[in-house]
Amino acid sequence: MCHRCCRIFAEGGNYKGEMRALYIGRFQPYHLGHHAVIKEIASKADEVIIVIGSAQRSHELENPFTAGERYLMISKSLRDNGISNFYIVPILDVNWNAVWVSHVESLMPPVDVVFTNNPLIARLFKERGYEVQAPLLFNRKEYSGSEIRRRMLNNESWEVLVPKAVAEVIKETNGISRMKTLARSDTE
Ligand code: ATP
Ligand code: MG
């Protein structure tokens, strides 16, 4: 028999109650794919815990934005949509898969269900007894952190792939200029 959370989400049911859901990402940057999934989870769960993974990483081509910048991107975008039933928890890497779930547990509120499309994260949480669900992917070809970072470096249109608040945070923090600096080497 499935857990209560599994039944409710599978049936597309709507409820408010005890259910706390976990969503994990690096959010480099937060984009419209993440946003669609979190809006959906927030409309069904009582609370959404959003873990910003690899929180210590920034100023790298694959991870250009700081945890604080990613925090702003997520919180402003959700608030712009009138969503307030979320908590954001930045979490550092431990580079030790067998203890990673305990590490996350030590830093976040207890949760009933984990939403992820990442096979390793799903596996690690399932092995610890969690209900894990894979959200639908939205326009994954374009709503993708890698694709957005590629466009940023190549002066292609990326703003259309992120919530308005994300484009504002990136502009305020000179994010594109930072990425272009990261792409340069000292031999140029
Ligand atoms: P990157 O290319 O940098 O890995 P990403 O787009 O995969 O970026 P992540 O922060 O790595 O974003 O992913 C967080 C979670 O969001 C993962 O479970 C990922 O599968 C999911 N996700 C990513 N893109 C989409 C999308 N377009 N629709 C729904 N979920 C998505
Ligand atoms: Mg990814």
Q: SS3 helix, strand, coil % of the chain, rounded to 5?
A: 45, 10, 45
User: Domains in the chain: how many in total?
Assistant: 1
Return the pLDDT at 66.
98
Q: Is residue 124 part of a domain?
A: yes
Cα–Cα distance for residue pair 85/50, rounded to 1 Å? 11
Q: Is residue 165 part of a domain?
A: yes
Return the pLDDT at 122.
98
Q: Does the predicted model carry a pTM greater than 0.85? A: yes
Q: Is residue 68 part of a domain?
A: yes
Cα–Cα distance for residue pair 43/38, rounded to 1 Å? 8
Q: Is residue 188 part of a domain?
A: no
Instruction: Identify whether the C-beta of residue 31 lies closer than 8 Å to the C-beta of residue 143.
Output: yes
Q: How far is the CA of 187 from the centre of ligand 2 (A)?
A: 31
Q: Is residue 46 part of a domain?
A: yes
Q: Is residue 171 part of a domain?
A: yes
- As given in the structure block, the two tokens for residue 172 are 């305020």
Return the pLDDT at 1.
34
Q: Is residue 98 part of a domain?
A: yes
Return the pLDDT at 187.
80
- Domain of residue 173 covers 3-183
Tens-level pLDDT at each residue, the chain (188 residues)? 344 555 455 555 554 457 999 999 999 999 999 999 999 999 999 999 999 999 999 999 999 999 999 999 999 999 999 999 999 999 999 999 999 999 999 999 999 999 999 999 999 999 999 999 999 999 999 999 999 999 999 999 999 999 999 999 999 999 999 999 999 988 86
**25 touches ligand 1 (CB under 6 Å):** yes
Please report, for the domain that includes residue 26, its CATH number.
Answer: 3.40.50.620
**33 touches ligand 1 (CB under 6 Å):** yes
